[in-house]
Amino acid sequence: MPPTPPPLPRALARTPGTTLRTRIYRACLDAIVDGRMAPGTRLPSARQLAADWRVSRNTVDDAIAALQADGVLVRRVGAGTFVAQAAPAPAALRPPSAFARTALAEVSRWSRRAAATHAPGAVPRAHAFVAGLADLRAFPLDRWRRITATRLRTGGSALLGYPPSAGLPALRSAVARHLALARGIACAPEQVAIVNSAMQAVDLVVRMLLERGDRAWLEDPAYQGLRATLAMAGVRTVAVPVDADGLDVAAGIARAPRAALVHVTPCCQYPLGTTMSAARRAALLDWAARRGAWIVEDDYQSEFFHDGRPPAALAALDRSGRVLHLGTFTSAAFPSLRLAWIVLPPSLVDTFEAVRGQLDHHSHAIAQAVLADFIDGGHLAAHLRRMRTLYRARRDALVAALARHGVDGTRLVAAHAGMHVALRLPRGRSDRAVTAAAAARGVAVMPLSRYARHVRVSGLLLGYTALDEGAIERGVARLAPLLR
């Protein structure tokens, strides 16, 4: 028989950033929820706990008083403190996988498919060569902290209420100015709506503009999250191949001439990294204007155009009001911020705000206010300049390391923009097999075929933006023998 664990830990867990009172509160609650202290169990005296945990008696009293107020502990005068009969029972805790297995039979077809390709609990972390991660160590956190403190002081309780569904006016104006400078887009602040993420923007756009069963063109290959988002809205996606000039507009017209919407990544195709040619841009705008179709221009990672200037955004070229332009602060600032923007044609602004208002209503107001000040103070532009220099050097380091280790540079699909490079594998090599072999050597890569629907591609995505040059070299040294 394994030894029974003590009801309460002998030492308090060291959790940085939490107070002693919180740690005591949690230690007691965990012991009750885990079943180590059943209802009716008597707690050691506060004096004893204070001595065991080397904390003041007052702190223990404080935590116990909070648990009493929650109804988890009860005090009986003259007898001591006990776990309440109605305290949470351990049976309430079932392992999540048990839930997942039973739920799969009951959920919609779309969710089942989304769940099949999603690894629960998988959180991307800075490790060679996980793609799309900003170098968070380089973010000016001190500046962010100071702006947050000032905003909370000056904004006061006004920041705690409901902000407008389309976003705080200060942030909408800041984004409009930023886009005018960075992307040549001339739009009024009222055309900018603030959302939580690029994917939420796509979700809202599809709900607003399409009916179930409508067709939408999606690049092939494309980010899987997009396919899932469209499918969950009941939209039929038409996979349109991408070549060195970007989305093949003629192929799209041949496959689905009456599509209602197209999602494209013209600046930096995701995941290949190619840039759409001027002729293809013109052809796409022309088709959309004639057909009355909507173009969702996803400007993902356009901040990191390493060689030369990024090409004009479709939203800057559009004369027919058919382009909805979206971008995200996930890569420009940091992922946990959960803020993104969409620039809408004036005719759609009110409906978009109404649709958002009916769903989750708005994005985090304090984060929006802080971000507006961060942009208006010139700190976003300065941060992006620093990151472009840093990422370009890392891109160069990756390309040089691949060459040094005998990987032919012509295998790179594109490396001039974005936060990863896509590398073609020699004909006949399975990218999934190479991915598994790389994982066995401690290197994380993404197989290109995971993003493809019909086109046959075999390659790897190598992210480099969160890695210093030493980590890039070590990663390539381990990976290269699998690529030759």
Task: Name the β-bridge partners of 305.
Answer: 417
The distance of Cα 444 from the centroid of its chain, to the nearest Å, equals 18
**How big is the site for ligand PLP, counted in residues (CB under 6 A)?**
12
Interface with ligand PLP, residue 330, by CB under 6 A:
yes
Interface with ligand PLP, residue 340, by CB under 6 A:
yes
| Closer residue to ligand PLP in complex, CB, 195/370 | 195
Tokens of 351: 């409906």
Site for ligand PLP in 306-325 (CB under 6 A): none
| Closer residue to ligand PLP in complex, CB, 165/328 | 328
Per-residue interface string for the shown chain with ligand PLP, residues 124-143, x marking contact by CB under 6 A: --------x-----------
| Closer residue to ligand PLP in complex, CB, 60/418 | 418
Q: Is the dihedral of CA 399, 402, 403, 407 positive or negative?
A: negative
Site for ligand PLP in 368-407 (CB under 6 A): none
Q: Which of these, 473, 460, 458, lies nearest to 399 by C-alpha position?
A: 473
Per-residue interface string for the shown chain with ligand PLP, residues 47-86, x marking contact by CB under 6 A: ----------------------------------------
302 residue type, one letter? S
Q: In angstroms, rounded to a whole number, what is the distance separating the alpha carbons of residues 42 and 22?
A: 21
| Closer residue to ligand PLP in complex, CB, 222/483 | 222
Least separation in angstroms between CB 331 and ligand PLP? 8
Site for ligand PLP in 182-221 (CB under 6 A): 197-199
Q: In angstroms, rounded to a whole number, what is the distance separating the alpha carbons of residues 131 and 129?
A: 6
Interface with ligand PLP, residue 270, by CB under 6 A:
yes
Interface with ligand PLP, residue 295, by CB under 6 A:
no
Q: How far apart are the first and last CA of the chain?
A: 54
Judge contact between 423 and 414, C-beta under 8 A: no
Per-residue interface string for the shown chain with ligand PLP, residues 217-246, x marking contact by CB under 6 A: ------x-----------------------
| Closer residue to ligand PLP in complex, CB, 28/444 | 444
| Closer residue to ligand PLP in complex, CB, 32/372 | 372
| Closer residue to ligand PLP in complex, CB, 23/178 | 178
Q: Which residue has the tokens 């901040």?
A: 303
Tokens of 68: 């009493």
Judge contact between 294 and 288, C-beta under 8 A: yes
Least separation in angstroms between CB 224 and ligand PLP? 9
Candidates 59, 328, 368, 458: give the one binding ligand PLP (CB under 6 A): 328
Cβ count within 10 A of residue 49: 22
409 residue type, one letter? G
Region label for 452, one of left (φ > 0), alpha (ψ between -120 and 50) or beta (otherwise): beta
Least separation in angstroms between CB 276 and ligand PLP? 13
Least separation in angstroms between CB 340 and ligand PLP? 5
| Closer residue to ligand PLP in complex, CB, 340/483 | 340
**H or E segment and range at residue 195:** strand 192-195
Interface with ligand PLP, residue 265, by CB under 6 A:
yes
* Per-residue b or e along 389-420, where b marks 16 or more CB atoms closer than 10 Å to that residue's CB: eebeebbebbbebbeebebeeebbbebbbbbb
Least separation in angstroms between CB 219 and ligand PLP? 9
Q: What is the DSSP letter of 410?
A: G
| Closer residue to ligand PLP in complex, CB, 186/359 | 359
Q: In angstroms, rounded to a whole number, what is the distance separating the alpha carbons of residues 315 and 184?
A: 9
Residues that bind ligand PLP (CB under 6 A): 132, 197-199, 223, 265, 270, 298, 300, 328, 330, 340
